[in-house]
Amino acid sequence: MTFRVLDEGGREVYSLNFVDRERFLSSGLCDYQTNINYAQGAPRVADKPLMVKAVRVVEPRNVDIVVPNSAAGKIKGSAYDFRVTCRVTVVKR
C-alpha cells in the first residue's frame, strides 16, 4: 500500500503515477521523518525545499494526504519535477 498526495478537490498531486519506476524500486516513494530539522538534512531534500503542511488525511485508512490547492499548484508548477525522482520527504508529528 502506498500513499497519495491530493489537492482539496481530490485530484492527485503525487503518487505512483508520477514517478520513474526504476527510481521508485530503488529508493521508495518517499522517506519518513519525525523531526523537521533532521528532515531538512536528509539526502532527498534540496537546499531550499518546498515545505507544505497537510490540511488533513483521507479516511478511513488515513494514508492519503490532502494539501492546500495553493501548495498543489506549486508542486505541479515546479521547474524541476522532484516527483519523478521521488525526492519527497514526509514529516509526521
Domain that holds residue 63: 5-91
Residues 6+ apart with CB under 8 A from 33: 39, 42, 89, 90, 91, 92
The pLDDT assigned to 23 comes to 95
Residue 60: the pLDDT is: 87
Alpha helices in 1-93 (DSSP H): 21-27, 36-40, 69-76
DSSP assignment, residue 75?
Answer: H
Per-residue confidence (pLDDT) for residue 9, from 0 to 100:
97
Is the pLDDT at 1 greater than 80? The verdict is no
3-state secondary structure of 83: coil
Domains identified in the chain, total number? 1
